[in-house]
C-alpha cells in the first residue's frame, strides 16, 4: 500500500512537470513571436493631467484703496499679507452670500487702533488751536479798541492846542500821528495773525479729514474680512505658483488677493504638459480621448484648444514641458476640478494598414530594415510611420505573417527575401537625408 502511494505521487509530479513545460513553452512562444496585423493605426501622444474649469469666478480678499495707503505722501496703511484664519472645506457647494472664509484681523486691528488714537489727538489739537486763536484774537481786538481811544484823545489834545505856540501844536500833531500809526500797526498785526491762524486751522482741518477718511477706510476694510460667496458654485482652493493650495493658515499676497475660486462646471478643460520632443506634433484642433481616474468606465472626448509657445521647467523633469489645454466636448456634472485625467492626443490615423511591433524590426550596417519570419525568412520591408509600440509596414509583409519579436537562434541560416525593395528603401533614405540637410532645416 505504501509503495502504491509513492508511485502515485511520482506520477502526479511527472504530470505536473509536463503541464508546466507546455505552459512555459507556450508563454515563451508568445513572447518570441508576434503576428503582422492589419487595421487602423494611430499615432498618438499621451500624457496625464488634471481637470480645470474653462471659466471661474475669483473669490478675493478686500482691497486697500490707494487713498488709504497715503497716496504717496508717506502716511496711511501699509499693504500687508492677509492670513486666512478659516475657510470652508474645498468642494463645498455654496449659494450667493454664503460664508466662505475669515481673514485674520489682528495686524490691521492694531493699525486701526493706532490711527484712531492719531485721529483723537488731531481733533484735540484742532480744538485747542481754535480756542487759543479765539482768545488771542479777542485780546488783539481789545488792543485795537484801546488804541482807538488813545488816537481820539490825541486828536482832542491837538484841537485844544490850536491856539498854543507852534511848538506845542507841532508836538500834539506828532503825538497824534504816532498813535494813528500804532493803531494801523495793531490793525495790520490783527489781520496778519488772523490770516496765519486761519491757514493753520485749515491745514489742521485737512489733516483731520484725511485721518478721518483713513480710519473710516480701515473700518470698512476690516468689515470685509469675512468673505462671502459672490455667486453660487463649488469652492475650489486657489493654487500658488509652486502648486500649493491656499487654505487655513496660508498668507494671501495683497497684490494677488484671490482666496478661492468658483469654477463654471459646465465647461471643463484638461490641462496637461507635453515634453519638448513631442510638442511639435501637437496642434490646436486635434482630437483627444480622455479618461478620468475617478470614473474609469467613462470615456470622454475633446479637442486641443491651446498649446504654449514657451516651455516650463517643472519639478522632477529634466526637459522643458509645454502646457496644453484640451476642452471636453460635453459637460458632465460629476466632473470636478483637480480630478486626474489620462489624455491620448490623436496625431494621425491610418486605416487598413499592416503593422508590427517596433521590436520586430532589425537593421544591418546598410540601414536596410528587415524582419525574421517564423518560416525562417529574413524579409526586407519598407517601413512607414510608427507610434510608441508598433510601426507600419508599407511593403514586404502580408497581414497574419508571424515574425520574431527578438533575434532568433542562428539568424544567418534564414533565407533573404524582398531584395527588390532595397532600391525603394535607399531612395527614401536619400530623400530624408536631403530634407534634413536642406538650409534652415533643423535636424
CB 258 within 8 A of CB 283: no
CB 286 within 8 A of CB 259: no
Burial (CB < 10 A; 0-12, 13-18, 19+), residue 27, is exposed
- 268-275 and 321-328 beta bridge pairing: antiparallel
Dihedral angle of Cα 34, 40, 44, 48, to the nearest 10 degrees = -80
Taking only the tens of pLDDT, the chain with its 443 residues reads 444 444 444 444 444 444 444 444 444 444 789 999 999 999 999 999 999 999 989 999 888 765 555 543 344 556 677 889 999 999 899 999 999 999 988 878 888 899 999 999 999 999 999 999 999 999 999 999 998 999 999 889 888 888 888 888 899 889 889 989 998 999 999 999 999 999 999 999 999 999 999 999 888 888 889 999 999 888 988 888 777 888 898 888 888 889 999 998 889 999 999 999 999 999 999 999 999 999 999 999 999 999 999 988 887 778 899 999 999 999 888 898 889 999 999 999 999 999 999 999 999 888 899 999 999 999 999 999 999 899 999 999 999 999 999 999 999 999 999 999 998 988 888 888 877 776 655 54
| Residue that has been written with the C-alpha cell 484823545 in this structure | 153
Tell which residue, 414, 366, 411, 371, has the closest CA to residue 395: 371
pLDDT at 440: 57
Q: Which helix (H) or strand (E) holds 212?
A: helix 166-223
pLDDT at 441: 55
What is the C-alpha to C-alpha distance for residues 53 and 266, in angstroms, rounded to an integer?
8
- 236-237 and 99-103 beta bridge pairing: unpaired
pLDDT at 314: 83
Sheet (strand 56-60) strand order: 56-60, 258-263, 236-237
pLDDT at 79: 67
What is the C-alpha to C-alpha distance for residues 43 and 278, in angstroms, rounded to an integer?
11
What is the C-alpha to C-alpha distance for residues 397 and 413, in angstroms, rounded to an integer?
20
Give the global pTM.
0.61
pLDDT at 279: 94
Amino acid at each position: 500500500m505504501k509503495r502504491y502511494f509513492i508511485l502515485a505521487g511520482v506520477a502526479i509530479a511527472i504530470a505536473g512537470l509536463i503541464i508546466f513545460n507546455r505552459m512555459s513553452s507556450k508563454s515563451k512562444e508568445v513572447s518570441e513571436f508576434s503576428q503582422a496585423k492589419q487595421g487602423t493605426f494611430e499615432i498618438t501622444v499621451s500624457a496625464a493631467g488634471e481637470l480645470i474649469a474653462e471659466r471661474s469666478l475669483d473669490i478675493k480678499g478686500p482691497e486697500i484703496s490707494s487713498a488709504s495707503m497715503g497716496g504717496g505722501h508717506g502716511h496711511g496703511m501699509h499693504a500687508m499679507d492677509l492670513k486666512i484664519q478659516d475657510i470652508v472645506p474645498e468642494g463645498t457647494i455654496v449659494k450667493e452670500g454664503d460664508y466662505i472664509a475669515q481673514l485674520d484681523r489682528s495686524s490691521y486691528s492694531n493699525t486701526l487702533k493706532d490711527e484712531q488714537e492719531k485721529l483723537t489727538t488731531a481733533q484735540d489739537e484742532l480744538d485747542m488751536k481754535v480756542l487759543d486763536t479765539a482768545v488771542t484774537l479777542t485780546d488783539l481786538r481789545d488792543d485795537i479798541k484801546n488804541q482807538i481811544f488813545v488816537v481820539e484823545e490825541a486828536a482832542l489834545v491837538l484841537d485844544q492846542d490850536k491856539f498854543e505856540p507852534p511848538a506845542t501844536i507841532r508836538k500834539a500833531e506828532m503825538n497824534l500821528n504816532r498813535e494813528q500809526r500804532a493803531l494801523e500797526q495793531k490793525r495790520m498785526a490783527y489781520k496778519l495773525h488772523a490770516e496765519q491762524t486761519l491757514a493753520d486751522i485749515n491745514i489742521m482741518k485737512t489733516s483731520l479729514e484725511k485721518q478721518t477718511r483713513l480710519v473710516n477706510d480701515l473700518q470698512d476694510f476690516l468689515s470685509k474680512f469675512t468673505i462671502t460667496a459672490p455667486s453660487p458654485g463649488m469652492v475650489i482652493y486657489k493654487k500658488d505658483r509652486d502648486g500649493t493650495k491656499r487654505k487655513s493658515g496660508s498668507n494671501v499676497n495683497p497684490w494677488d488677493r484671490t482666496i478661492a475660486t468658483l469654477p463654471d462646471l459646465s465647461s471643463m478643460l484638461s490641462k496637461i504638459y507635453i515634453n519638448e520632443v513631442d510638442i511639435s506634433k501637437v496642434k490646436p484642433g486635434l482630437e483627444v480621448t480622455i479618461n478620468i481616474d475617478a470614473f474609469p468606465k467613462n470615456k470622454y472626448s475633446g479637442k486641443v484648444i491651446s498649446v504654449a509657445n514657451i516651455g516650463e521647467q517643472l519639478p522632477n523633469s529634466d526637459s522643458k514641458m509645454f502646457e496644453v489645454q484640451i476642452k471636453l466636448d460635453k459637460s458632465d456634472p460629476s466632473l470636478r476640478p483637480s480630478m486626474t485625467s489620462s489624455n491620448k492626443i490623436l496625431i494621425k490615423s491610418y486605416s487598413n494598414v499592416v503593422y508590427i511591433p517596433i521590436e520586430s524590426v532589425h537593421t544591418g550596417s546598410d540601414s536596410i530594415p528587415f524582419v525574421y519570419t517564423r518560416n525562417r525568412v529574413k524579409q526586407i520591408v519598407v517601413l512607414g510611420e510608427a507610434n510608441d509600440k508598433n510601426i507600419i509596414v508599407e511593403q514586404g509583409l502580408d497581414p497574419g505573417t508571424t515574425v520574431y519579436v527578438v533575434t532568433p537562434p542562428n539568424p544567418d541560416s534564414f533565407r533573404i527575401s524582398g531584395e527588390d525593395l532595397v532600391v525603394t528603401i535607399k531612395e527614401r533614405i536619400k530623400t530624408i537625408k536631403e530634407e534634413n540637410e536642406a538650409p534652415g532645416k533643423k535636424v
